[in-house]
Structure 1
């Protein structure tokens, strides 16, 4: 497959590249084998050898798909409700009940997960790290629905043997570990006959968080991760009531519990981490553990914002998560916008603190991030945190072609698509139109599902113009 058009990606933090009129070739296995300006001789040779290249219309561009590093699949059932409660109470009133319903009703599970998969594709999410439930069968349904949708999905069967509803808990650490091994084997079996490059779903070890897991269970999961090389996901240092619970019950910080259990590794992604200070974040970076930053749910359930700039400066691998349903919006675009907003408020607070102490703010210590850095976190940064194939999240040779086509202007009329208005340019036409950083920023701030018209994962087109359905 050969495509011609404008490409946009973020090779590194704060670096945005707008590649105008490029040729991109994807091989039969879905990997990028050529990227270059259309004017170059090699690109011209590629064009001449192709009967019908895919032309991206002017007014549109290709962007890598988004990565969502933290989403509770069964909680999609009640997305957007119950956010007035503190975390531990919210879990009892909403989360556990919904998860138990999903485990007890396979037809409901399939309806919820089929719709969830559709919404993810609709919002440009090409890879997602999912918390499931404690039941094996419903998690296999989740894996099947994500596989059918064609997106990359990392499926976590929850492990929890304490501090839950009496009817929604695993009987013991041993039974929880046995169920986890069974799930890993059965989930892997879904892809057994699929070539490695084309596999989409993968199991993930998922201790819910320290309050719901005994030390015996956590140590067992740590051994299992080491023996099987399986990824790990959990919540860490998320909310004030959760942190205090762990301190009172365990007499330790939950990061210490995870590390002593062998669960703070380069295979681990921890969500939130809002109560980690800068030195602790440096330790997280040394361990190779990644963090899923969920700014919207943090605003509801954490008493403090995540120290994003400090984490990035410490070398922590960071991506973004929606945290449905603790976060009410399934859109990673929304997560990007909230990440910038929270960081700017942190920077404003720093300036106010300096002013109150008659100090001059040191710009080298600025806490805010900009939209380009947020876009990096949603694409390249998220792919790196997930441990996807080399080059994932970028348009480079050797990377898997996971892309979305963003349409912002109608090529025929020059009018903006959906929420995009270009009032000064509408009478000029497309002859002088050229994609710029400023136009990409406008889409980043205002764009929505109406601007997304195609999506590919591993070179395979999985969606087209769903906004007309």
Structure 2
């Protein structure tokens, strides 16, 4: 396929590139082969060849090709409570709402219905790659994997490990550390089998829910499994004042230090939230090449602070964007980009110098930052990268300024799923506007 039209793509933390007319050429493996500008000598001949082969895809005037978004933090079983009980304290929200809902996913029919809705909603919002927390149920997590594969979404999925009886309810926890580790390994093996069988982009992830939910034996075993299978790791780290204090009281260590003690901070780790991380924690993250999933909407409700994105970036810690469904109510990365900018202004107004970030900075997090965190060559429109795209319409193009920076910011602040016309993952069309089901 060859796309012809305008593109926006992040070049760096501080710069988004705009090209008004290019050919973006996709090879049969779903990779970007070339991006040809209109002034290159073979532009016309490549376009003509694409027309002759009926593989030219003109992008309409007023629409733009953008990279697909990467969501680094989604609690898949929480989708059905998105927006509910967000006025409650974190502990109450977990115990009275979240854990009872997640326990229902032992019913695989229930899981299939919920996960089908979630995956399609994320794709429709331009999210092509997701790092998912599943539930404690191995079979339900495999249902999620199969739905992602059928819909065409690239998915990193973890079976949640949680076995500490002091912090988890008896109706929703692994019965022992032995069961937790055995089921985690079983899930890893079965997901590898599924991936080979259907050649989908699926990756198992080691997933301790967070330090309070796990016994020492489970934390240690999960670190060993991550090393054994060379897998990504995801958890929460310094999400709130309560979580931070819990780690200190139980281990006499910072939350990050506890995770590191059990070999859970690696160059394949993504830790969510981090609103309470200290400079020494950030130095440890930098040393381990561990990334942060910034969840700005959720942090407003449960984070007790604002993640200092610019400071964290200057400490050379990679950051991506996460919705944190359902601590975050919206499945839209656009909505979280907006909140990231707003929250940074609040941080600056509270006295932190030079804390404000721009739409360009947040766009980097949603694309390049997330791709680097997951070690996937995507998030940019350039040769050698996966063809993960969204085609987005500027609904005000005939009314407002069409200067590139103005268009870019307008897309960031006004795009909803109604303006996302098509979505592609590895060159395969997975969403057409007005159609709410999977791969086409």
- TM-score, normalised by the number of residues in structure 1: 0.89
Q: Could you tell me which of 381, 387, 394 is aligned with 1:401?
A: 387
Residue 282 of structure 1 contacts residue 311 of structure 1 at CA under 8 Å; is this kept in 2? no
Structure 1, residues 421-459: CA drift from partner, whole Å, max 9, x if none? 74368xxxxxxxx56121121121122112110011001
> Does residue 1:74 correspond to 2:77, yes or no?
yes
Query: Aligned equivalents of 1:424 and 1:78: distance in 2?
Result: 38
- Which of the two has higher C-alpha Rg? 1
> 1:27 maps to which residue?
27
The answer as to 2:210 corresponding to 1:172 is no
Cα pair 1:281 1:310 within 8 Å, conserved: no
Map of 2:105 onto structure 1: 102
The aligned residue for residue 262 of structure 1 is 263
Contact 1:449 1:467 in 2 (8 A): no
Cα contact 1:211–1:246 (8 A) shared by 2: yes
Distance (Å, rounded) in 1 between the aligned partners of 2:41 and 2:252: 66
| 8 Å contact kept, 2:8–2:64 | yes
Cα distance between partner residues in 2 of 1:447 and 1:184: 37
- What's the counterpart of residue 189 of structure 2? 185
Q: CA deviation at 1:468?
A: 9.0
Report Cα offsets for 1:288-311 as digits up to 9, x if no partner: 000000111111112221121111
RMSD (Å) for aligned C-alpha atoms:
1.6
Residue 301 of structure 2 aligns with which residue? 300
CA shift, 1:466, in A, is 2.5
CA gap 1:424/1:299 in 2 versus in 1, 3 angstroms: closer
Structure 2 residue matching 1:319: 3-state secondary structure: strand
1:380 aligns with 2:368: yes
Query: 2:158·2:206 contact (CA, 8 Å) conserved in 1?
Result: yes
Paired residues of 2:296 and 2:343 also in contact (CA < 8 A): yes
Matches within 5 A, 1:206-217: 206-217=207-218
Distance 1:2 1:85 in 2: 50
> Does structure 1 residue 123 correspond to structure 2 residue 91?
no
Give the corresponding residue for 2:141: 139
**Runs (5+) with no aligned partner, structure 1:** 352-364, 409-416, 426-433
Residue 58 of structure 2 is aligned to residue 55 of structure 1: yes
Q: Are the equivalent residues in 2 in contact too, given 1:117–1:149 (CA < 8 A)?
A: yes
CA distance in 2, matches of 1:287, 1:349: 31
Following the alignment from structure 1 to structure 2, what is the Cα–Cα distance between the partners of residues 302 and 193?
A: 40
Residue 38 of structure 1, CA deviation: 2.4
Deviations 1:370-407 (A, max 9, x none): 00111111111111111112xx1111111110001011
Aligned to 2:406: 438
Q: C-alpha distance in 2, partners of 1:32/1:194?
A: 23
CA deviations over 1:136-179 (Å, ceiling 9, x no partner): 01101111111111011111100011121112111211211111
SS of alignment partner, residue 350 of structure 2: helix
The answer on whether the counterparts of 1:278 and 1:310 sit within 8 Å (CA) in structure 2 is no
Structure 1 distance, partners of 2:177, 2:42, is 59
User: Structure 2 CA distance, aligned partners of 1:399 and 1:423?
Assistant: 34
Does the aligned pair in 2 maintain the 1:4–1:38 contact within 8 Å?
A: no
Cα distance in structure 2, aligned partners of 1:71 and 1:273:
16
| Residues 122 and 466, structure 1, Cα contact 8 Å, conserved in 2 | no
Q: Would you say the 8 A contact 1:5–1:55 is kept in 2?
A: yes
Aligned positions of 1:337-352 closer than 5 A: 337-350=338-351
Deviations 1:84-120 (A, max 9, x none): 11111211011110110112x1111000000001110
Matches within 5 A, 1:317-466: 317-350=318-351, 366-389=354-377, 392-408=378-394, 417=395, 420=396, 422-423=398-399, 436-466=404-434
Alignment check: 8 A CA contact 1:274 1:302 kept: yes
Instruction: Please give the alpha-carbon distance, in whole angstroms, between the structure 1 residues aligned to 2:403 and 2:434.
Output: 24
Contact 2:234–2:271 under 8 Å retained in 1: yes
| Contact 1:159–1:170 under 8 Å retained in 2 | yes
- Please, what TM-score do these two structures have when normalized by structure 2? 0.95
1:3 aligned onto 2:12: no
Structure 1 pair 424/153, CA: closer, same or farther in 2 (3 Å)? closer
Listed as ranges, the matches of 1:233-244 within 5 Å are 233-244=234-245
Q: Residue 89 of structure 1 corresponds to which residue in structure 2?
A: 92
Q: Is the 8 A contact 2:120 2:436 kept in 1?
A: no
**Aligned mates of 2:285, 2:389 — CA distance in 1:** 30
After TM superposition, give the deviation of residue 39 of structure 1 in Å: 3.0
**Number of residue pairs the alignment of both structures matches:** 432
CA contact (8 A) 1:18 1:435 kept: no
Q: Corresponding residue for 1:412?
A: none
C-alpha separation in 1, matches of 2:118 and 2:436: 18
